[in-house]
């Protein structure tokens, strides 16, 4: 199934607007040589455009700018031009850009929508461009997340497991010890205590939040909870089977959070991050982005690090800590005139020097097996690596996977807003997934 670029021609030209920021990075000698060769016999400089939401976010902007500055210093014939596009808009805008022949050379993408890119004709396979040694060095689960029909179509960048964050000050206010809950039953008990609290200005404090707005990322995140109840959206035969007791239990869990006043209804992930940062949410689950985001949103900078703690996901109904892993992906446009130079830049972004910069500023880890030993210095690193050993893979890429995640998020929203029972929502979801994933 191919997603033709012409399908996006009717979208508004407003979508083509992106903030362009010239920045820079570092690389090794082999990358320099390849990039130089790609410049052609004329010796003309190469300009690579890089569409990214991370360059538009305060928490990650500085690290990306430093990486690119180092790269350009080592590769003076290569210039990296950022195209800053918000996370919520980047897929749609880059498809529109591709439809008019203006696709960026490199595009940052995300697992929830990666199937849309992989099944389209706007990106190029990467096995040959990246080389066998590099491809074999990728962790299998993350490599699979960015493969399609047996080909590597994207490179996993900045991988993370989902972990639990808790606010120590709120725990103290609720009379709880400075210790994360070990089980989901303990978490819900603690969350109910916290949800009775108010801030000094009288605002409600939620105990624990899950994102339930109708967005693909929220459906993807919900896989973690479905796995914790021992469920899946697919049966043992690989076919859709979502109307199960495990799915009903998962939806009941979401319903209970709102019904019991433990968590907000219809929240986006960014809403939970903000509530946590301003002291109105005791616990929530997120990737390793937490530290930098909290510092910015709280307005307290590094001082806010004393306020929060991190821990593996509490054990669920299966008796095990279960998480999903996700990674930002990097893809290369099929229309790029400098594919090898783009591949070399991606190698740099995922190599030791660049990941060290990203890790120092944003706690980013690596999807490369050869770099896994880098992340053992801090307690936060140890939590991330402990959870990395307890990750269950996302469903295999499919052209309809993004819609499937949206369908799942819709079911979460319905039960949390009490517009459908968990049983009815599971039945409706099963029917939708059988269409989305046929």
Inter-axis angle of helices 422-436 and 401-416, nearest 10? 170
Greatest CA separation found in the chain? 70
- Please tell me the distance from the alpha carbon of residue 188 to that of residue 179, in angstroms, as a whole number: 14
Alpha-carbon torsion (109, 113, 119, 120), positive or negative: negative
What CATH class does 163-323+395-436 carry? alpha beta
- Please tell me the distance from the alpha carbon of residue 205 to that of residue 212, in angstroms, as a whole number: 18
Phi/psi at 157 (5° precision):
-130, 135
Phi/psi at 77 (5° precision):
-85, 0
Average pLDDT over residues 305-319: 95
Starting at the edge strand that comes first in sequence, how are the strands of the sheet with 308-311 ordered? 206-209, 281-286, 163-167, 308-311
- Of 92-101, 217-226, 375-384, minimum mean pLDDT range: 375-384
DSSP H or E segment with residue 222:
helix 216-228
pLDDT value for 397: 85
> What pairs with residue 283 in β-bridges?
166, 208
Q: What is the pLDDT of residues 32-84, one digit of tens each?
A: 444 444 544 346 789 999 999 999 998 899 999 999 999 999 999 999 999 99
Q: Do domains 5-159+326-385 and 163-323+395-436 have the same CATH topology?
A: yes
Please report the DSSP string for 65-132 in residue order.
HHHHHHHHHH-TTEEEEEEE--TTTHHHHHHHHHHTT---SEEEE-HHHHHHHHTBSSB---HHHH-H
Q: What is the pLDDT of residues 227-285, one digit of tens each?
A: 999 999 999 898 999 999 999 999 999 999 999 999 999 999 999 999 999 999 999 99
pLDDT value for 389: 83
Structure-token pair, residue 374:
């880098």
pLDDT value for 11: 39
Judge whether 186 and 409 are in contact, CB under 8 Å.
no
Structure-token pair, residue 75:
């590769």
| Mean residue pLDDT across the chain | 89
Pick the CATH number of 5-159+326-385 from 2.40.30.10, 3.30.70.980, 3.40.190.10, 3.10.20.30: 3.40.190.10
- Please tell me the distance from the alpha carbon of residue 50 to that of residue 342, in angstroms, as a whole number: 9
**Strands (E) located in 216-291:** 281-286
pLDDT value for 9: 37
Task: Give the CA radius of gyration of the chain.
Answer: 22
Dihedral angle, C-alpha 375, 380, 386, 388, nearest 10 °: -70
pLDDT value for 387: 92
Judge whether 409 and 216 are in contact, CB under 8 Å.
yes
Please report the DSSP string for 183-205 in residue order.
BHHHHHHHHHHHTT-B-TTS-B-
**Strands (E) located in 126-190:** 147-148, 151-152, 155-161, 163-167
pLDDT value for 376: 80
Length of the chain: 438
Domain residue spans of the chain: 5-159+326-385, 163-323+395-436
Res 18 pLDDT > 60: no
pLDDT value for 291: 82
Judge whether 18 and 51 are in contact, CB under 8 Å.
yes
Q: Tokens 């993807």 correspond to what residue?
A: 220
pLDDT value for 427: 98
Burial (0-12, 13-18, 19+ Cβ within 10 Å), 4: exposed
- b (16+ CB within 10 A) / e for 41-71: eeeeebebbbbbbbbbbebbbebbbbbbebb
pTM to 2 decimal places: 0.81
């Amino acid at each position: 199934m191919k997603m033709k670029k012409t399908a996006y021609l009717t979208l508004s030209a407003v979508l083509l607007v992106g903030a362009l920021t010239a920045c820079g990075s570092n690389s090794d000698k082999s990358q320099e040589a390849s990039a130089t060769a790609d410049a052609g016999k004329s010796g003309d400089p190469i300009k690579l455009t890089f569409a990214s939401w991370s360059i538009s976010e305060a928490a990650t902007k500085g690290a990306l700018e430093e990486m690119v500055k180092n790269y350009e210093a080592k590769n003076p014939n290569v210039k990296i031009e950022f195209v800053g596009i918000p996370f919520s808009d980047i897929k749609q805008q880059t498809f529109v850009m591709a439809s008019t022949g203006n696709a960026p050379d490199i595009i940052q993408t995300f697992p929830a929508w990666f199937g849309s890119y992989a099944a389209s004709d706007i990106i190029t396979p990467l096995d040959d461009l990246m080389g066998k040694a590099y491809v074999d060095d990728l962790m299998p689960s993350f490599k699979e997340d960015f493969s399609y029909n047996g080909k590597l179509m994207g490179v996993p960048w900045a991988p993370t497991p989902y972990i639990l964050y808790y606010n120590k000050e709120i725990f103290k206010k609720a009379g709880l010890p400075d210790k994360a809950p070990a089980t989901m039953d303990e978490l819900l008990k603690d969350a109910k205590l916290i949800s009775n609290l108010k801030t000094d200005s009288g605002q409600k404090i939620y105990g624990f939040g899950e994102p339930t707005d109708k967005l693909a990322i929220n459906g993807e995140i919900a896989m973690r909870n479905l796995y914790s109840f021992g469920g899946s959206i697919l049966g043992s035969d690989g076919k859709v089977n979502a109307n199960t007791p495990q799915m009903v239990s998962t939806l009941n869990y979401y319903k209970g959070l709102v019904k019991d006043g433990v968590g907000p209804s219809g929240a986006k992930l960014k809403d939970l991050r903000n509530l946590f940062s301003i002291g109105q949410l005791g616990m929530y689950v997120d990737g390793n982005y937490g530290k930098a985001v909290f510092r910015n949103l709280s307005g307290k900078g590094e001082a806010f690090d004393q306020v929060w703690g991190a821990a593996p996901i509490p054990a669920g109904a299966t008796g095990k800590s279960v998480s999903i892993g996700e990674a930002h992906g990097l893809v290369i446009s099929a229309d790029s005139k400098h594919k090898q130079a783009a591949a070399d830049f991606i190698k740099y972004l995922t190599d030791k020097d660049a990941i060290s910069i990203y890790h120092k500023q944003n706690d980013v880890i690596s999807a490369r097996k050869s770099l896994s030993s880098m992340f053992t210095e801090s307690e936060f690193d140890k939590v991330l690596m402990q959870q990395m050993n307890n990750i269950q893979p996302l469903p295999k890429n499919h052209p309809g996977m993004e819609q499937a995640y949206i369908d799942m998020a819709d079911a979460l929203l319905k039960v949390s807003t009490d517009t459908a029972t968990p049983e009815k929502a599971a039945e409706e979801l099963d029917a939708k997934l059988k269409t989305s994933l046929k």
